[in-house]
Amino acid sequence: MNTKKNILSFCAGNPEFQLFAIFFFAFILKYLIYGFCYFPALDDYIQYGGYPLYENPSYVLFDIGTLKSRPLSAVLDIFLWGSLWKSPHLCLILSSAFHFLSCVILYRACKKNGITLSPLFAVLFLFFPLGTEGTYWISASSRIVVGIFFSSLSLLTLSEYLKRGTFTYFACFFVCSACAFLLYESCAVFCFVSCAAIVIKNKNIKRMILPILSLSLLLLSLVIYLKLMQNTGAMGSRVSESSVLNIFSQSKDFLSQLLEILTKGVFNITVRGFQSGLKLILTKGVFGAVYLFAIFAVCIVLGRFNAGYNTKSPSGRKAVLQIAAGIILFFSPFAPNLIASPVWITYRTMFIPLIGIYLILDIIFSKIARKSVQTILLTSLLFIFIVSGINEYDTYKRNYELDNALIKKVCSLLPEDVLCGTREAAVLLDTTPQAAQVSFYKDHVKSVFYSDWSLTGAIREELDNMHIKKVTPVFPDMTKDYSDCFIIDMRKND
């Protein structure tokens, strides 16, 4: 009985727990419409359906070269995500757990360093629909979300070490930082910059030494590792084409892509996505009505909670420092993209840099004097973001269903010599199959039929057959001779 009372007392007296309990239910609503089913796209078929089929993992890691740029991601692809791939919904649940826990830990880490984040930060971090590509698509979230999870743990354990001076906390900080560095380049930059900011803020000079040395060692080790691995494996050319000089030559192209995403991309994903998502929910009949009511309900509960939530507005100096930190955290994670050639900014690229923008918007939100205005803004954004996110989820579903139907048709027509890998196949198409969506941008929710590598990977995964050499989609504008290939004509007859 005392235990039950203690739990109830903790819940009632802990506003942060109450806040994240609300967000937990809201977070579930994002994927509940299709029961947390996961719908694969593009690289998923290769990394999680294909690579685990090789008897010797070292072939994937060294000969194909997945180990050369993101070592921990490459290992987890085979031994974690690949092992769960027969039940892909588990991959989505696991990546979602990493995403949600990252937000909780970031709140704690910021609080340890004198920054009290408002509920707006969580709304943006967990629900902003532009981030869906980086948080839902396993090929991206297995790097980005997991990397941010370890980065946030690094911030929290570093803060504890600087406060207590306990070696255990330092060891945890070092391990978590190393994981972040080995998962994804932008996570490495985010982890380095944010941890460096905490170290600089610290007043205990003696306790600064170990974190500074370890961060410098990790960064130097990563650079040396990438240089040593740049010419190994089939994927080694990506690293060898990188140069710091590219920052100057590619800055114009970078800004152009960034502007397009932050204007057209945000509008399409959020506004048009909301319209499309709302229509989708309303077509679900009674279930849709209940679902929409549940979204309204969680938004109202958040609004009621925010009315009594003490959002501390930072003082002038603190606000300026937080804005400066936000600007640095926005631009710095783009460094790996600017160094690489050509510069390639996608929706998933934006997830990490936008954390800096969220910090800035959080200050602006906390400066709003009237709680009623805060509440209306907060609940409206949560409602719009959840519905827009549902549209993104549905887009992945429709893209998968289209791909899956065509893949099964192609597989049923492949002869023995193609299955044995002695002959290639070519699929004649009028155009790339594409599910309707609100935002066509680069490889955002693309069909596997747009390239030979993605189509071949999907067919290998479908048949559990890595002997298949190559299956190429052929479009009317292609001039290459495919007469030696087995031809599958899927063009529409006029």
Per-residue pLDDT tens digits for 249-267: 778 888 999 999 999 999 9
Q: Quick: pLDDT tens for 342-357.
A: 888 999 999 999 999 9
Domain count, the chain: 2
Q: Is residue 355 part of a domain?
A: yes
Is 379 found in the same domain as 323? Answer: yes
Eight-class DSSP state of 428? E
Residue in 313, 310, 306 with CA at minimum distance from that of residue 372: 306
Q: Does the pLDDT value for residue 369 go beyond 80?
A: no
Using pLDDT thresholds of 50, 70 and 90, give the confidence band for residue 319: confident
CB 421 within 8 A of CB 460: no
Is 292 found in the same domain as 238? Answer: yes
Q: Does the pLDDT value for residue 5 go beyond 60?
A: no
Last residue of a domain, which of 338, 363, 394? 394
By residue range, what is the domain housing residue 66? 19-394
Q: How far apart are CA 44 and CA 399, in angstroms?
A: 13
Cα–Cα distances (Å) from 76 to 19, 57, 183, 233, 244, in that order, read 32, 11, 9, 18, 29
Eight-class DSSP state of 200? H
Q: Does the pLDDT value for residue 8 go beyond 70?
A: no
Cα–Cα distances (Å) from 167 to 23, 110, 149, 161, 173, in that order, read 34, 21, 21, 7, 10
Q: Is residue 26 part of a domain?
A: yes
Is 383 found in the same domain as 415? Answer: no
Is 328 found in the same domain as 197? Answer: yes
Q: Quick: pLDDT tens for 288-316.
A: 999 999 999 999 999 998 887 777 777 77
Q: Quick: pLDDT tens for 393-433.
A: 999 999 999 999 999 999 999 999 999 989 999 999 988 88
Q: Quick: pLDDT tens for 69-96.
A: 789 999 999 999 999 998 999 999 999 9
Last residue of a domain, which of 359, 394, 429? 394
Q: Is residue 6 part of a domain?
A: no
pLDDT of res. 234: 44
Residue in 258, 222, 254 with CA at minimum distance from that of residue 338: 254
**How far is Cα of residue 5 from the mean position of the Cα atoms in its chain?**
39
Using pLDDT thresholds of 50, 70 and 90, give the confidence band for residue 10: low
Both structure tokens of 212:
């500074």
Is 413 found in the same domain as 357? Answer: no
Is 448 found in the same domain as 355? Answer: no
Percent of the chain with pLDDT over 70: 93
Is 434 found in the same domain as 310? Answer: no
Is 275 found in the same domain as 130? Answer: yes
Using pLDDT thresholds of 50, 70 and 90, give the confidence band for residue 9: low
Is 390 found in the same domain as 365? Answer: yes
Q: Is residue 208 part of a domain?
A: yes
Is 299 found in the same domain as 196? Answer: yes
Q: Does the pLDDT value for residue 435 go beyond 50?
A: yes
Using pLDDT thresholds of 50, 70 and 90, give the confidence band for residue 181: very high
Q: What is the mean pLDDT of residues 130-152?
A: 95
Is 292 found in the same domain as 317? Answer: yes
- Cis bond leading into 473, ω under 30°? no
Using pLDDT thresholds of 50, 70 and 90, give the confidence band for residue 235: very low
C-alpha angle with apex 440: 439 to 446, nearest 5 degrees?
Answer: 120
Q: How far apart are CA 93 and CA 151, in angstroms?
A: 20
Q: How far apart are CA 485 and CA 274, in angstroms?
A: 45
pLDDT of res. 230: 67
CB 72 within 8 A of CB 473: no
Q: Is residue 340 part of a domain?
A: yes
Eight-class DSSP state of 314? P
Q: Is residue 4 part of a domain?
A: no
Does 308 or 184 have the greater pLDDT score?
A: 184
Which of the given ranges, 60-74, 111-125, 200-214, has the highest pLDDT on average?
Answer: 111-125
Q: Is residue 39 part of a domain?
A: yes
Is 246 found in the same domain as 196? Answer: yes
Average pLDDT, the chain: 88
Please tell me the pTM assigned to this model.
0.91
Last residue of a domain, which of 360, 394, 428? 394
Q: Is residue 402 part of a domain?
A: no
Does 212 or 245 have the greater pLDDT score?
A: 212
Cα–Cα distances (Å) from 156 to 105, 113, 211, in that order, read 7, 9, 13
